[in-house]
Amino acid sequence: MKKLVLVLFLLFLMNLVSATPAMPQPFENCMKYDNNFIENVKKDATKIQVGFVVIDPFNGQIKAMVGGENQIFGRGLNHVTEIRRQPGSAMKPFIYTVAISNGYYPTFTLLNQKFDFHGWSPSNFSENEYGGYTTLRSALAHSFNVIAGRMTTSDIAPPNQVVKFANKMGIKSRLVAVPSIALGTSEVTPLELTSAYGTIVNKGVHVSPTSIKKIEDRNNILIDKFMPIYTEAISVQTASVITNMLHSVVTSGTGRGVRRYFSYPAAGKTGTTQKYADAWYVGFTPNLVAGVWVGFDDHRIKFTNTYGQGAVAAMPIWSKFMGKVYKELNIPIKYFHIAPGVVRATFCKTTMDLGDPKIATSKCPETVSDIIISKDMPGKCEIHPEDDKIKKEKDKNSSDW
């Protein structure tokens, strides 16, 4: 009986509260008209945030991590592990990885012109970046969006396959299998994106990132030990070709600014999202892989101009760090090597310009040399055959004598 009375009393109170007009909140009203408070909120919302992580790609050990500026308090948002943002063009290496695995190669050419695919029409960064047939190597180096879009709207790099490859290479966030995945429209964390790039430099093997090796008590008795998980994600040949192509990004593409502060072997990719919301640079050396994200905590806040590009906002952080750490820690200089099964071939430029690259003959007037997985070698050029004599059709009534 007492319980019933208590329940009825609580219901009465709830009804009374809901029927009573909401009282004004003095604190809220006070803050609403407090100019100092408003300015502090604006300042905090527009504060540029950075996430930076360095991983040993061969054992998965996290060597350095900067999750935010609040290092003393230690309870701020970790911008390496706790945010998810669109990677933009930093997603393109996974598109090209699928293409290389499907038998395509750096000198394969696609038309660098706008197209419409069921209402989706990607465009390059500027109007002067369009042209004729362009190699995959050049398209990745200069980050041409329409080329990446042509790949995910065809059997060169189907979206479902891109998702599977990216997952195996280390990206665990949910990726949506649509053509726009070519432009990095699905959100990922900086940690997983950096770890996935490590798969490329580690000859196609992904090693899960680890920050703690073991836990011991005060008596040095082992409580727990943490071992990374090794996954064979892509072939060593595919990894070798992609590494070589990403090296071109640094030597002659959107990542060439790396050379202002770091002159040793390096490969990587810039990333810039729509309206300059996020700036990325993820890259690796033969020793380390590192990723940088620069942006804002509030999705509504964005950079206002090209200073929000990955090459401007994020890449200098990466290159300055690498330049300093190689010098101060005396990290040995290593070089990228071409894997067995990857060879250098000479292609006919005429056939490349027609969108059907062929191996050059001695009669081809202009040629291009590049690497290719040996099993994916195309046929020889038929426009400039070795035997340039015109073969007459044999008369059925003629004799061989």
Q: How does pLDDT run across 12-22, given as a tens digit for each residue?
A: 444 444 444 55
Q: What is the pLDDT of residues 205-241, one digit of tens each?
A: 999 999 998 898 898 898 898 899 999 999 999 999 9
Q: What is the pLDDT of residues 284-304, one digit of tens each?
A: 999 999 999 999 988 888 888
Higher pLDDT residue, 24 or 363? 363
Higher pLDDT residue, 345 or 386? 345
Residue 174 CA to residue 167 CA, distance in Å, equals 9
pLDDT at 32: 62
Q: Is the pLDDT of residue 396 over 80?
A: no
pLDDT at 33: 64
Which residues does residue 294 pair with via DSSP β-bridges, in sequence order?
50, 279
pLDDT at 388: 60
pLDDT at 389: 55
Mean pLDDT score, 357-366: 97
- Cα four-point dihedral sign 233, 139, 262, 189: negative
Which residues does residue 196 pair with via DSSP β-bridges, in sequence order?
none
What type of residue sits at position 363?
A: K
CA angle 326, 332, 334 (to 5 degrees): 105
pLDDT at 74: 58
The two counts, helices (H) then strands (E), for the chain are 11, 13
59 with 228: CB under 8 angstroms? yes
CA angle 289, 292, 297 (to 5 degrees): 145
Higher pLDDT residue, 314 or 392? 314
Higher pLDDT residue, 26 or 180? 180
R_g of the chain, CA atoms, integer Å = 28
Domains of the chain and CATH, by start: 45-328 (3.40.710.10), 342-376 (no CATH)
pLDDT at 38: 59
Instruction: Label residue 145 exposed, middle or buried (CB < 10 Å: 0-12, 13-18, 19+).
Output: buried
Average pLDDT in the chain = 88
Q: Token digits for 103?
A: 């038998």
pLDDT at 127: 86
C-alpha distances (whole Å) from 14 to each of 8, 10, 17, 20, 251 are 10, 6, 5, 10, 69
Residue 118 CA to residue 7 CA, distance in Å, equals 59
For 186, the 3-state DSSP assignment is coil
Residue of 101, 139, 85 lying closest to 291 (CA atoms): 85
Mean pLDDT score, 61-72: 85
Mean pLDDT score, 243-263: 97
pLDDT at 26: 58
Among the listed ranges 35-49, 69-83, 149-163, which one has the minimum average pLDDT value?
Answer: 35-49
pLDDT at 390: 42
Q: Which residue in the block uniquely carries the two structure tokens 């726009």?
A: 180
Residues in the chain: 401
Q: State residue 362 phi and psi, 5-degree precision.
A: -70, -15
**Reported confidence tier of residue 39, pLDDT bands at 50, 70, 90:** low
**pTM above the 0.95 mark?**
no
Residue of 215, 150, 205 lying closest to 180 (CA atoms): 150
364 with 386: CB under 8 angstroms? no
196 with 209: CB under 8 angstroms? no
Higher pLDDT residue, 77 or 115? 115
For 378, the 3-state DSSP assignment is coil
**Reported confidence tier of residue 269, pLDDT bands at 50, 70, 90:** very high
Higher pLDDT residue, 76 or 131? 131
pLDDT at 68: 83
Q: State residue 400 phi and psi, 5-degree precision.
A: -75, -10
Q: What is the pLDDT of residues 335-346, one digit of tens each?
A: 999 999 999 999
Residue 81 CA to residue 51 CA, distance in Å, equals 9
Mean pLDDT score, 86-94: 97
Residue 163 CA to residue 79 CA, distance in Å, equals 24
**Reported confidence tier of residue 72, pLDDT bands at 50, 70, 90:** low
Residue 183 CA to residue 273 CA, distance in Å, equals 8
291 with 280: CB under 8 angstroms? yes
Q: What is the DSSP string of 57-120?
A: TTT-BEEEEE--S-TTT--S--TTTS--B--GGGGHHHHHHHHHHTT--TT-EEE-S---BTTB
Q: State the number of CA atoms in the 13 A half-sphere of 295 facing the CB.
A: 32
